Structure 1
Amino acid sequence: MKVTLERTDLLKSLTHVHRVVERRNTIPILSNVLLRCDGGQLALKATDLDLEISEQIPAHVEQPGATTVPAHMIYDIVRKLPEGAQVSLETSGDNATLELRAGRSRFALQMLPEADFPDITAGEFSHAFTLTGRDLRLIIDSTQFAISTEETRYYLNGIYMHTVTTDAGERFRGVATDGHRLARAEVPAPAGASGMPGIIVPRKTVGEMQKLLEDPDAEAQVEISEAKIRITTGNVVLTSKLIDGTFPDYGRVIPQNNDKTMLVDRDDFKAAVDRVSTISSERGRAVKLAISEGRMVLTVINPDSGSATEELAVDYESDPLEIGFNSRYLLEITGQLRGDTASFSFADAGAPTLIQDQGAEDTLYVLMPMRV
């Protein structure tokens, strides 16, 4: 193979694909990126056997061909080349190296044969639909933080995506929970999504989707089967296996009858929680909210370092309530709210609390209280 292309194009594509490759691999070919040039394009592909990213970029192809080279190595080389450089990639039939040239720089990279490179993209996709980058990012950004990291409950290690029928029509919904908090976000279901199987998209795949959806106005083609998801945006195609498990019936933990409602300025509340939690212990992180008509007092007590209190004005007209939460969870949830006013709906000190933007229906959060 022999191909010449712009350093900027090659670096952008390598940035997308090399992230999939684990730094340490027991299977040597999984450390490599597949390069295939033909018909005025260079195609790049990387995989970890669960997730695969491929991209095509324009190039001047003098001799078609394909090979694989270490992904992180070629990424680091191209990243350090001067801007505006022309990069030439060439293999010869009699040796096991790829020659990379740019200006006066020369690199010879060890190759492994293309035939050894695995392909996880085979299989049929039963449902296909198109979402805007903005809608798919809303689902991901609003729920990703609540994905569980507990490997024993592997079915919680991703975002559960499915369609539901509500009073507002059919909705495409994403849900994540770790047992302590739950995040749910939804957008109008696109044509083609109706009847799709409920799928659990793994944490790593979610992170890569988030990075690829940089343009909110770009369209993302989504294809789904029982075992895989494929996202196509621009020239980039991401294919991933899904988590093979059953997501719990999350509807049972979303409170329906929390009748004590508190409205508070989101930024003021977030800043106050952040300030008082400075004194909390790394292990405890508990903050107590004492809520009464028109006011809330936030308290943190750490036996090892002292205590902190702060008072906020709130809109609250129900019976006085004292309830405790993990301050980090409170900050993460309020950090996802997009409006100026946060709405808290309580039942009692031991029941889950519902948190939303005031008047917003597309996202909601459930937080379990702590004993303080």
Structure 2
Amino acid sequence: MRIIIERSNLLKALGHVHRVVERRNTIPILSNVLLKSEEGALRLKATDLDIEVTERVVAIDEQPGATTVPAYLLYDIVRKLPDGSEVNLTTNEEGSQLVVSSGRSRFRLQCLPEIDFPDITTGVFSHSFKLPAAALARLIERTQFAISTEETRYYLNGIFFHTIESEGSLKLRAVATDGHRLARAEADAPSGSEGMPGIIVPRKTVSELQKLIGDADDESAVDVELSESKIRFTIGDVVITSKLIDGTFPDYQRVIPTGNDKALVLDRQSFAQAVDRVSTISSERGRAVKLAVSQGQLVLTVNSPDSGTATEELPVGYDADEIEIGFNARYLLDITSQLSGEESVFMLADPGSPTLIRDGGDSGTLYVLMPMRV
């Protein structure tokens, strides 16, 4: 194999694919990236057996071939080469080494054969549709923070995507929960998504997808193909294929309160800043913030046995019965950071029941937060 490629193009592609490679591997080939020459292009592929990312980049293909080399090592080498340089990738006759040369720099890397590299992309995809990149990014951003990190409840370690009839139209809905808070966002369901199975996309895949969408053009579309066990996203020249979480997502509709009748309307930014200030007194970010709500006024209080107390008052819109309720400070800040409108609405019931939070700037999202005892 002999290929000449622009350093910037190679670095960008390696940046996309090498992230899925685990730094510690018991299987040596999984530490490598597959390099394969195609007509006028170089295809790169990396996998951890759960996710696979491939990208095709323009290159001068002087001699066809394929090999695999350590992903992080190649990325570091290319990253340190001068801007604007050309990179030559050449395998020796035995195929045991890849020579990386650019200007006066020359590296010899140990290779493993292409035939040993795993492929997880086989299988039939039952549904396919296009989704605007901005819409998919919004669904992920609004819900990602609520993904559980508790490995025992593995079925909560991702975002649940499914279609649902809502207000007379079909919606694509994303839901994530860790048992303490729940985030739900929805967008108009694209053509082709009708009848799709409910799927749970793993946390690592969601994270990689978010980065790839961030690098893409805002006007671009994402091609989505899925089956009951796998999903594939195509964003420009990058393809990410992932196994889905094999489990049943809980019936989240049951935890979304419907009878909360005490509406607390507040300024999102002022509230978030106040929560951040009063929680400074606490040695633990997860300590409860007490919200004492009365006519037109909210008092936030944090008590710390070690440091003392902090209080702050805010003017709010509220005309129901007085109530005192506590929430995890970090969870409140996580949710308020996702809200886009100037005003937020907290629908309260009583100190022991979940609270419903609506975004004044985005009717397609809602959040549920479990209270803490204070």
**1:143 alignment partner, SS class:** helix
1:271 to 263, 270, 273: 273
Cα deviation 1:72-116 (Å, max 9, x = unaligned): 000000011110010000012135110000110000000000000
8 Å CA contact 1:280, 1:286 repeated in 2: no
Q: Distance in 1 between matches of 2:127 and 2:147?
A: 25
Q: Distance in 2 between matches of 1:2 and 1:80?
A: 21
Distance 1:172 1:95, change over 3 A: closer
Q: In the alignment, what sits opposite 1:280? A: 282
**Which stretches in structure 2 are left out of the alignment for 5+ residues?**
none
8 Å CA contact 2:340, 2:359 repeated in 1: yes
Distance apart, 1:63 and its partner CA = 0.1
Distance apart, 1:234 and its partner CA = 0.3
Q: In the alignment, what sits opposite 2:59? A: 59
TM-score, length-normalised on structure 2?
Answer: 0.98
Check if 1:12 corresponds to 2:12.
yes
Greater shift, 35-44 or 281-290, is seen at 281-290
Cα deviation 1:182-204 (Å, max 9, x = unaligned): 00000000000010000000000
Letter in 1 for 2:235: T
Q: In the alignment, what sits opposite 2:223? A: 221
Q: Distance in 1 between matches of 2:342 and 2:317?
A: 14
Q: Distance in 2 between matches of 1:136 and 1:217?
A: 12
- 1:77-92 aligned at under 5 Å gives the runs 77-92=77-92
Q: Distance in 1 between matches of 2:134 and 2:361?
A: 20
Q: In the alignment, what sits opposite 2:326? A: 324
Q: Distance in 1 between matches of 2:127 and 2:218?
A: 23
Q: Distance in 2 between matches of 1:269 and 1:283?
A: 17
Q: Distance in 1 between matches of 2:57 and 2:354?
A: 50
Q: Distance in 2 between matches of 1:370 and 1:302?
A: 15
TM-score, length-normalised on structure 1?
Answer: 0.99
**Which stretches in structure 1 are left out of the alignment for 5+ residues?**
none
Distance apart, 1:359 and its partner CA = 6.3
8 Å CA contact 1:155, 1:244 repeated in 2: yes
Q: In the alignment, what sits opposite 1:311? A: 313
- 1:20-39 aligned at under 5 Å gives the runs 20-39=20-39
Distance apart, 1:50 and its partner CA = 0.3
Letter in 1 for 2:305: P
Distance apart, 1:257 and its partner CA = 1.3
Distance 1:210 1:283, change over 3 A: closer
**1:23 alignment partner, SS class:** coil
1:300 to 290, 299, 302: 302
Distance 1:197 1:297, change over 3 A: same
8 Å CA contact 2:357, 2:367 repeated in 1: yes
**2:362 alignment partner, SS class:** coil
Q: Distance in 2 between matches of 1:173 and 1:52?
A: 25
Distance apart, 1:361 and its partner CA = 2.1
Distance apart, 1:140 and its partner CA = 0.4
Distance 1:322 1:80, change over 3 A: same
- 1:222-261 aligned at under 5 Å gives the runs 222-261=224-263
Q: Distance in 1 between matches of 2:362 and 2:160?
A: 21
**1:213 alignment partner, SS class:** helix
Distance apart, 1:168 and its partner CA = 4.1
Distance apart, 1:273 and its partner CA = 0.1
8 Å CA contact 2:5, 2:58 repeated in 1: yes
Q: Distance in 1 between matches of 2:179 and 2:76?
A: 40
Runs of 4+ that moved beyond 6 A: none
Q: Distance in 1 between matches of 2:346 and 2:95?
A: 67
Quote the RMSD (CA, aligned, Å). Answer: 0.9
Distance apart, 1:357 and its partner CA = 1.1
Distance 1:305 1:7, change over 3 A: same
Q: Distance in 2 between matches of 1:168 and 1:271?
A: 38
Cα deviation 1:124-151 (Å, max 9, x = unaligned): 0000000011100111000000000000
Q: Distance in 2 between matches of 1:231 and 1:368?
A: 34
8 Å CA contact 1:6, 1:86 repeated in 2: yes
Q: Distance in 2 between matches of 1:289 and 1:57?
A: 54
Q: Distance in 2 between matches of 1:149 and 1:60?
A: 44
Letter in 2 for 1:314: V
8 Å CA contact 2:286, 2:329 repeated in 1: no
Distance 1:16 1:359, change over 3 A: closer
Letter in 2 for 1:19: R
Cα deviation 1:215-268 (Å, max 9, x = unaligned): 322100000100000000100000000000000000000011110001100000
